[in-house]
Amino acid sequence: MKRTFSVLFLLAAIACSNPAPEKNSSPFGGGTWIDLTYAFDETTIYWPTAETFRLDTVFEGMTDSGFYYAAFQYCAAEHGGTHLDAPVHFAEGKLPMDQIPLEQLLGDAVVVDVSAQASANPDYQVAVEDFVAWERTNGPLPKDAIVLLRTGFGKFWPDRERYMGTAERGAAAVAKLHFPGLHPDAARWLLAERAIKAIGLDTPSIDYGQSTLFESHRILFEKNIPAFENLANLDHLPLKGIWVIALPMKIKGGSGGPLRIVARVGG
């Protein structure tokens, strides 16, 4: 009897020290989730020299056994649609897709809005002053933030000519690209004066369309800062109070790949 009482007492103590979790509890709290990802289909925009997305049907319909079945196969270049540029894309020996720490792909984010400047100049390059102006209104950029640049060019998707400056394909089309990006001086400033862990924007490249040296890529990637390109719905986000999850396809040794990125606001 004494042994039974001792066991019951121990179980009661364990139950008190480990209360049952609340039903329907969420590790993220409240708030609204916003999808920052474009769907991949035949309209998805790719770099003029890259293979575009193709989805082929393996089987779709009723099987001989009487049940429905669907399976497809796809082919696509790494860099197109909503995707992640891994540091190794422009920096030898730096992180490929499968080695980017998860900590760099999720966390607090801010939006720096340069849509007015980009509307007046499609070749606009986000400058140090744009970040300084953001801080004058919103306070210092959070440490280890994910920085999202809103140029307003997302409103043109999937119109290739308006979004990229040209609808032409092939190597000759690259010289005709016109869209905003990040100025190399601003990339250097972010690394030297602030602490960010990733950066993204609503254009095809972190460097502006007329870039030939891709300096912002090289500056950021040398320090293992990945970039998210062709982001959707940045106009649905506030300037701060954002939490982002950006999970790319885990391609071993890859220089980039499709990205599913979402943001939570509020809550």
Task: Kindly tell me if the per-residue pLDDT of 7 is higher than 80.
Answer: no
Task: Kindly tell me if the per-residue pLDDT of 11 is higher than 70.
Answer: no
Domain edges within the chain: 32-38+81-265
> CATH for 32-38+81-265?
3.50.30.50
Task: Kindly tell me if the per-residue pLDDT of 52 is higher than 70.
Answer: yes
What does the pLDDT look like over 99-142, one tens digit per residue? 999 999 999 999 999 999 999 999 999 999 999 999 999 999 99
Which residue has better confidence, 121 or 30? 121
Give CA torsion, residues 64, 68, 74, 79, to 10 deg: -170
To which residue do tokens 């007015």 refer? 116
267 falls in which pLDDT band (50, 70, 90)? Answer: confident
Q: Are 51 and 225 in contact (CB under 8 A)?
A: no
Alpha helices in 124-254 (DSSP H): 128-138, 160-164, 184-193, 215-222
